[in-house]
Chain A
Amino acid sequence: MHLDLYTIWFILVGVLLTGYAVLDGFDLGIGALHLFTSKDQERRVMINAIGPVWDGNEVWLVTGGGAMFAAFPNVYATVFSGFYLALMLLLASLIFRAVAIEFRSKQPMYWWRQMWDIGFAGGSILSSLLIGTALGNIAWGVPVDANGEFAGTFLGLLTPYPLLVGVTTVALFMMHGAIYGVLKTEGELHDKLRRWAMNSIIFFVISAVTLTMATLLFVPHMAARVREHPWLFSVALANMLAIANIPREFHRGNDGVAFLSSCAAIVTLMALFALNLFPYLVYSLPHPENSLTIYNAASSPKTLGIMLLIAGIGVPVVVAYTISIYWIFRGKVKLDHMSY
Chain B
Amino acid sequence: MDVLTLSRIQFGATIAFHYLYPPLSIGLGLLLVLMEGAWLRTRNDLYHQMARFWTKVFALTFAIGVATGIVMEFEFGTNWASYSRFVGDVFGSALAAEGIFAFFLESGFLAVLLFGWDKVGRKTHFFATCMVALGAHFSAVWIVVANSWMQTPAGYHLVGSGMHARAEVTDFWQVVFNPSMLERLFHTICGAWSAGSFLVVSVSAWYLLKGKHLEFASKSLKLALIVALVASLLQAFSGHLSAQGVGRNQPAKLAAFEGLYQTTSNAPLVLAGIVDEKNERVVGISAPFLLSFLAHNDFHSPVTGLNEFKPQDRPPVQASFLFFHGMVAIGFVLILIAALGFLYFKHGTLHQRRWLLWLLVFSVFGPQLANQLGWFAAEVGRQPWIVYGVMRTPEGLSAVVKANVVVASLILFTVIYFLLFTVFIYLLHQKIQHGPDDADLIPAGKLALPPEI
Listed in ascending order, the chain A residues whose CB lies under 8 Å from chain B are 51-53, 55-56, 58-59, 61-63, 65-67, 69-74, 76-82, 84-85, 87-88, 91-92, 94-96, 98-99, 101-103, 106-107, 147, 149-151, 154, 299-300, 302-303, 306-307, 310-311, 314-315, 318, 321-322, 325, 328-329, 336-339
Name which residue of chain A comes closest to B69, CB basis.
Answer: A62
Segment at the interface with A among B56-64, B357-365, B382-390: B56-64
Contact of A88 among B59, B66, B99, B409 (CB under 8 A): B409
Contact call B110/A80, Cβ cutoff below 8 A: no
Given A98-B66, A321-B105, A321-B109, 7 further pairs, Cβ under 8 A: A61-B70, A69-B76, A147-B163, A302-B168, A303-B169, A306-B93, A310-B97
Contact among A59, A77, A95 for B88, CB-based, below 8 A: A77
8 of the cross-chain contacts (CB-CB < 8 Å) are A55-B107, A63-B103, A66-B92, A306-B93, A328-B111, A329-B111, A329-B115, A338-B115
Instruction: Report the minimal beta-carbon distance from A218 to chain B, rounded to whole angstroms.
Output: 26
Among B74, B85, B117, B159, point to the contact of A73 (Cβ < 8 A): B85
Task: Please give the number of chain B residues whose Cβ is less than 8 angstroms from any Cβ of chain A in the complex.
Answer: 72
Once the chains are docked, how many angstroms separate the CA of A77 from the CA of B281? 43
Instruction: Verify B92–A76 contact, CB threshold 8 A.
Output: yes
Q: Is the CB of A84 within 8 A of B405?
A: yes
Minimum CB–CB distance from A122 to chain B (whole Å) comes to 13
**Chain-A contact segment, one of B27-35, B221-229, B256-264, B394-402:** B394-402
The listed residue (A53, A65, A299) touching B73 by CB distance below 8 A is A65
**Chain B contact residues: over half helix, strand or loop, or mixed?**
helix
CB of A98 within 8 A of CB of B108, answer no
Dominant SS among interface residues on chain A: helix
Please indicate the chain B residues that have their CB under 8 angstroms from the CB of A303 in the complex: 89-90, 92-93, 168-169
Contact of B115 among A51, A77, A81, A310 (CB under 8 A): A51
Given known contacts A325-B111, A328-B120, A102 and B77 CB-to-CB distance under 8 angstroms: no
* Contact, CB under 8 Å: B81 / A81: yes
Whether B119 is near chain A, meaning CB under 8 Å from some CB there, is: yes
Does residue B1 face the partner (Cβ distance < 8 Å to A)? no
* Closest chain B residue, CB of each to CB of A95: B67
* Distance, CA A65 to CA B78, complexed state (A): 12
Across the interface, B99 reaches (CB within 8 A) one of A59, A154, A302, namely A59
Query: What A residues does B120 contact at CB under 8 A?
Result: 328
A170 to chain B, nearest CB (A): 20
- Interface residues, chain B, with chain A CB atoms under 8 Å away: 59-60, 63-64, 66-71, 73-74, 76-79, 81-82, 84-85, 87-93, 95-101, 103-105, 107-112, 114-120, 159, 163, 166, 168-170, 172, 398-401, 405, 408-409, 412, 416, 420, 423, 427, 430, 437, 439
Known contacts A321-B108, A321-B109, A69 near B96 by CB under 8 Å: yes
Q: If A52-B115, A102-B63 touch, does A88 touch B412 (CB 8 Å cutoff)?
A: yes
**Of the candidates B67, B163, B172, which one forms a contact with A99 in the assembled complex, judged by CB atoms under 8 Å apart?**
B67
Among B63, B93, B115, B408, point to the contact of A98 (Cβ < 8 A). Answer: B63
- Return chain B residues, CB-CB under 8 Å to A76: 76-77, 84, 88, 92
Of A63, A82, A94, A339, which contacts B104 at CB under 8 A?
A: A63
Q: Is B63 a contact partner of A328 (Cβ separation < 8 A)? A: no
Residue of A whose beta carbon sits closest to that of B402: A84
Q: Closest approach, in angstroms, between the C-beta of B213 and any C-beta of chain A?
A: 18
Which residue, B81, B116, B423, B439, has most C-beta atoms of chain A within 10 A? Answer: B81
| A328 touching B104 in the complex, CB below 8 Å, given contacts A84-B405, A92-B416, A299-B88 | no
Q: Which residues of B contact A71 (CB under 8 A)?
A: 92, 96
CB distance from A118 to the nearest CB of B (A): 14
Q: Which residues of A contact B416 (CB under 8 A)?
A: 92, 95-96
Given contacts A78-B81, A99-B63, contact A70 B108 (CB under 8 A): no
B contact residues around A72 at 8 Å (CB): 88
Given the interface pairs A55-B110, A66-B92, A73-B88, the reply to whether A94 lies near B81 with Cβ below 8 Å is: no
